[in-house]
Amino acid sequence: MEAVARTTKELVHLDVLVNNAAFQEHVNDFEDLTETHFDRTLKMNLYGYFHMAKAAMPHMKPGSAIVMTGAVTGLLGNKNLLDYSMTKGGIHAFVRSLATHLIDKGIRVSAVAPGPVWTPSIPPTAIRKVSRARGRAPRGRIPPRC
């Protein structure tokens, strides 16, 4: 991957990889989820993480870390984000599995699973729902199911 090659060329070594990229688009009806949309989600959310980890790993030494962004929806599901939820759940499984492969090399692999994050891909209806949940939550933190 070009990003890894450029980083190792300019900085000599690679200590941390943060995989944090995703495609998400709400689909209200399962029948409206097209194969093209489904493929785009899988390729961005799973293939991207796989290829970045694969490219980075040979440059990492003991004490290095790989951190991948999963999502609460990958653990709990979401009726309007079927494909996205599936890929985020896959990331959590990938992290656990990759961690077992790299532990003997001294490379840590972990995941974070944030709840809703304000991005342009969140539709207005979700923003209203999250805002209401935030108002009910201790310290204004969004609960996992909102």
Number of helical H runs and strand E runs in the chain: 6, 3
Domain 2-114 has CATH 3.40.50.720: yes
Q: Supply the residues annotated as catalytic.
A: 84
Comparing CA positions, the residue from 91, 76, 79 lying closest to residue 33 is 79
Mean pLDDT of 52-58: 93
What pLDDT, in 10s, does the model give residues 28-47? Answer: 899 999 999 999 999 999 99
pTM of the model: 0.77
Going by the DSSP 8-state scheme, the letter that residue 137 receives in this structure is S
Q: Which residue stretches of the chain are H helix? A: 2-11, 35-42, 48-56, 72-76, 82-102, 124-136
> What are the boundaries of each domain within the chain?
2-114, 121-146
